[in-house]
A and B are shown apart, each in its own frame.
Chain A
Amino acid sequence: MGQTVLVCDDAIFMRTMITDILTQAGYEVIGEAESGAQAVERYRELRPDMVTMDIVMPDMGGIDAVREIVKADPDAKILMCSAMGQQALVVEAIQAGAKDFVVKPFQPSRVLEAVQRLLV
């Protein structure tokens, strides 16, 4: 069985795209979340091997969600999904405990490289 992933993004378009990239590469997307609060909740519930996290989401942003998740599980493997120009936020997310990042627009190969680094 492939390693499990929780995909967090408020845009269904992005969730679908990430899910497709990961599924095709043999990972198993076991849940989705469309807000930071939901991400925290679903993480507790599903305990996935890793999480992809959008930065800007309604009802608790991605960075706060990272803080909450890492507080509960310091080993949580969270991959930030950021748009260009959000570098300061990405740095903040890393300081909050995110383990890697990819930049939109996604190139599937870049996403998979980052996922592989995380799931070594």
Chain B
Amino acid sequence: MDLDKYVALFLADSREHLQQCNALLLDWERSPTSAAPVAGLFRSVHTIKGMAATLGYGQLASLSHALEDLLAEVRDGGLVPNSDLLDLCFRSVDALEAGIEPAVEGQDATLEIDDMVAALNEVVRPGEEAPEVDVHRTGEFAIPVGIGAPVGRPVRVTLRPGAEMAGARAALVLLKAELLGKVSAVFPPRDTFHTPVFGGELTFRLTTSATDDRIAEVIRGAGDVLTVTVGDRLAAPTRTMGRQVRVTLERLDDLLNQVSELVVASNRLTELVEQHRDSPLEDAVGRVARLVAEAQSSVTEARLAPVAEVFDRFPRPIRDLARELEKRVAIIIEGGDIELDRSILDELGDPLLHLLRNAVDHGLEAPAERVAAGKPPEGRILLRATREQNTVLIMVRDDGRGIDRPAVEIKARSEGFLAHDQALADDDALLALLGKPGFSTNVEVTGVSGRGVGIDVVLTGFRAIGGRVTLRTNPGAGTTFELRLPLTLAIVQALLVTVGAERYALPLAFVAETGQVERSPDQAKGGPISYRGGSLQGIALDALVGASEWQQRVGHRRPVVVLETGHRRIGLVVDTLVGRQDIVVEPVDAPRGTPPWMNGAAILGDGLPILVLDPAALV
């Protein structure tokens, strides 16, 4: 194994993460109640911990671990940040920064971090002994250091999420490994296995002549082992093919913006050329258009990262929550290699975690209740990503009790969210209700509330990254949320329409079909329109945007755009359909009172601005 490569990767990666940490700490200090910096810090520190543990830098790993614990506590609401706590975080990050180079030079064991670790633990668990990071017992961490290099192959073992007594199982894993050779650099330390902080994953180094496959086979003999990763694949980033250059996300952002503008300009050029009937010119422009399209897809691809980067963070908190609630849960993750735009991925984690927590907290029943219902005592949560054309579908499915719709209806009526004679027609209506701000957070019976985060917050989080959510729930059998995400946020294919002199853009992803309808006065109020022999809720766009002359047009046939989200459809009546175009949506800093269906603005190829409507808010 080429160790130098990993050390170099570690140096570069940890430097970037620490830089990120400092920036985030400053953000956090400016707005101490904001969740984003804490989440970002947690991710970075977690990454550093993983790398340090893998390379056998036990002291660095311990410090990262203690800091991560504290950040998790803050993130989960167990600690309220104050200036002392922030100061401690700053000093911890400094200490990590100062420790990186000595660790790489083989001086990890001499790092003086005990006081810092003790201070962090004291904040998280006041007055408690914290054996899990008891670095005084460096015996466990005594890595046989040759010339600054750890010895043996790195091994990472993850346990099945529902494994009973995961810590004892981990002890067995080490016992098995010891049959093959010498085990060192165990992380987390052995004496923390039996504590609740043990998260079902351990890394260690194994000096042995056995093959990687043999190691995996023997370790699997410990039982309840989910994955064993031995050697080279472990520390390497997911993509190691070819030579790599590190590029900051900001530079990719710039590049993507430029290419996106180029796409728009190229579209405009194509439009103009079509009016001129000059075939050499058309050929040339067509070639430019193709090249621009290729450049666009290359840049888009460069920004992709596997969803595993987010998904892999979930088993631990889910496991901890299940343990706290005395429930048993297996989380099954599929499609971790499906890729999404980095910026989408960064925003995906928190809302997704809320959904998963809700599933454990309210969806899954206690083991006894499950057994009584004829289910296995261990609940299952499936988290799966699949790629479908230009979208990624993420599914969160639990086999719990499902959402009790009649109970939700009763609650909704008593709180005025639903009229007394009204019922929820289907799961879409249920989701729409749960998504109303202030509703789901205070409803126990829905089975999806609690922990301070309602479905409305989750939905808002998903919508911010262009996601569409659907819900299916079956009493007694479980609940499924499906989230459809675009691969990239920058360029949206849109249908341009006009009302009066104004043009509007509708994201094509929501457009089911277009057709013609007769205008009627009802349409202004969202009354039904007859369309292709059926009935559809109609909305007149001119009435919606406040144009006054719509009444005069009653009786004329008008184009209608059928918009679809989930299983709900509406017909948006417009004046003319202009056609399809790629647009770059710029979020607008919306003044108070901006209608929710106003999604943003785009500049078209001709240089004129256009408003982009949000069909999800209309339907």
A residues at B contact (CB < 8 Å): 82, 84, 87-88, 90-91, 94-95, 99-101, 103, 113-114, 117, 120
Query: Which of A84, A87, A90, A117 makes the CB contact (< 8 A) with B223?
Result: A117
Task: Assess the A91–B221 pair: CB atoms within 8 A.
Answer: no
> Shortest beta-carbon distance, B78 to chain A, in Å?
23
- Residues of A close to B193: CB separation below 8 A: 87, 91
Segment touching A, from B9-17, B163-171, B484-492: B163-171
Bound-state CA distance A84–B168 (Å) is: 12
B194 within 8 A of A: yes
Extra contacts, 14 of them, besides A94-B168, A99-B172 (Cβ < 8 A), are A82-B165, A84-B164, A87-B165, A87-B168, A87-B194, A90-B165, A90-B194, A94-B172, A100-B172, A100-B223, A101-B165, A101-B168, A103-B165, A120-B221
- The dominant DSSP class at the A interface is helix
With CB as the reference atom, state the residue of chain A lying closest to B220: A117
The 9 closest A-B pairs by CB, nearest first: A90-B168, A88-B194, A103-B164, A87-B194, A94-B171, A87-B165, A91-B171, A91-B194, A91-B168
Task: Assess the B171–A95 pair: CB atoms within 8 A.
Answer: yes
Instruction: Report if A113-B171 is in contact (Cβ < 8 Å); known contacts: A90-B165, A91-B194.
Output: no
Bound-state CA distance A100–B164 (Å) is: 12
The residue in B168, B194, B223 that gathers the most chain A C-beta atoms within 10 A of its C-beta is B168
With CB as the reference atom, state the residue of chain A lying closest to B196: A87
With CB as the reference atom, state the residue of chain B lying closest to A97: B175
With CB as the reference atom, state the residue of chain B lying closest to A104: B164
- Residues of A close to B194: CB separation below 8 A: 87-88, 90-91
Bound-state CA distance A117–B223 (Å) is: 8
B residues at A contact (CB < 8 Å): 164-165, 167-168, 171-172, 175, 193-194, 221-223
> Shortest beta-carbon distance, B180 to chain A, in Å?
15
Bound-state CA distance A94–B556 (Å) is: 83
- Residues of A close to B165: CB separation below 8 A: 82, 87, 90, 101, 103
> Shortest beta-carbon distance, A9 to chain B, in Å?
18
Task: Assess the B223–A114 pair: CB atoms within 8 A.
Answer: yes
Query: Which of A88, A103, A117 makes the CB contact (< 8 A) with B221?
Result: A117
- Residues of B close to A114: CB separation below 8 A: 223
Task: Assess the A94–B223 pair: CB atoms within 8 A.
Answer: no
- 13 example contacts (A-B, Cβ-Cβ < 8 A) are as follows A87-B165, A87-B167, A90-B171, A99-B175, A100-B222, A100-B223, A101-B165, A101-B172, A103-B165, A113-B223, A114-B223, A117-B221, A120-B221
- Residues of A close to B167: CB separation below 8 A: 87, 91
With CB as the reference atom, state the residue of chain A lying closest to B167: A87
Bound-state CA distance A82–B171 (Å) is: 15
Task: Assess the B164–A94 pair: CB atoms within 8 A.
Answer: no
- Residues of B close to A82: CB separation below 8 A: 165, 168
Bound-state CA distance A103–B165 (Å) is: 8
The residue in B164, B175, B221 that gathers the most chain A C-beta atoms within 10 A of its C-beta is B164
- Residues of B close to A103: CB separation below 8 A: 164-165
- Residues of A close to B172: CB separation below 8 A: 94, 99-101
- Residues of B close to A90: CB separation below 8 A: 165, 168, 171, 194
Task: Assess the A94–B221 pair: CB atoms within 8 A.
Answer: no
With CB as the reference atom, state the residue of chain A lying closest to B193: A91
With CB as the reference atom, state the residue of chain A lying closest to B174: A94
Bound-state CA distance A103–B164 (Å) is: 7
The residue in A84, A87, A88, A99 that gathers the most chain B C-beta atoms within 10 A of its C-beta is A87
Bound-state CA distance A100–B173 (Å) is: 10
- Residues of B close to A120: CB separation below 8 A: 221
With CB as the reference atom, state the residue of chain B lying closest to A80: B168
> Shortest beta-carbon distance, B173 to chain A, in Å?
10
- Residues of B close to A95: CB separation below 8 A: 171
- Residues of B close to A99: CB separation below 8 A: 172, 175
With CB as the reference atom, state the residue of chain A lying closest to B170: A91
With CB as the reference atom, state the residue of chain A lying closest to B191: A91
- Residues of A close to B171: CB separation below 8 A: 90-91, 94-95
Bound-state CA distance A113–B164 (Å) is: 14
Bound-state CA distance A84–B164 (Å) is: 9
> Shortest beta-carbon distance, A101 to chain B, in Å?
6
> Shortest beta-carbon distance, A70 to chain B, in Å?
12
Bound-state CA distance A80–B48 (Å) is: 37
With CB as the reference atom, state the residue of chain A lying closest to B223: A117
With CB as the reference atom, state the residue of chain B lying closest to A113: B223
Bound-state CA distance A87–B165 (Å) is: 6
Bound-state CA distance A114–B222 (Å) is: 9
Bound-state CA distance A87–B167 (Å) is: 7
Bound-state CA distance A90–B194 (Å) is: 9
With CB as the reference atom, state the residue of chain A lying closest to B175: A94
With CB as the reference atom, state the residue of chain B lying closest to A95: B171
Bound-state CA distance A94–B175 (Å) is: 8
Bound-state CA distance A94–B164 (Å) is: 15
Bound-state CA distance A103–B172 (Å) is: 14
Bound-state CA distance A99–B193 (Å) is: 17
> Shortest beta-carbon distance, A110 to chain B, in Å?
8
With CB as the reference atom, state the residue of chain B lying closest to A103: B164
> Shortest beta-carbon distance, B543 to chain A, in Å?
63
Bound-state CA distance A84–B167 (Å) is: 13
With CB as the reference atom, state the residue of chain A lying closest to B367: A105
Bound-state CA distance A100–B172 (Å) is: 7
> Shortest beta-carbon distance, A118 to chain B, in Å?
9
> Shortest beta-carbon distance, B199 to chain A, in Å?
14
With CB as the reference atom, state the residue of chain A lying closest to B169: A101
Bound-state CA distance A55–B76 (Å) is: 36
With CB as the reference atom, state the residue of chain B lying closest to A93: B168
Bound-state CA distance A87–B168 (Å) is: 6
Bound-state CA distance A81–B241 (Å) is: 48
- Residues of A close to B164: CB separation below 8 A: 84, 103
The residue in B165, B171, B194, B221 that gathers the most chain A C-beta atoms within 10 A of its C-beta is B165
With CB as the reference atom, state the residue of chain A lying closest to B221: A117
- Residues of A close to B168: CB separation below 8 A: 82, 87, 90-91, 94, 101
- Residues of A close to B222: CB separation below 8 A: 100, 117
- Residues of B close to A91: CB separation below 8 A: 167-168, 171, 193-194
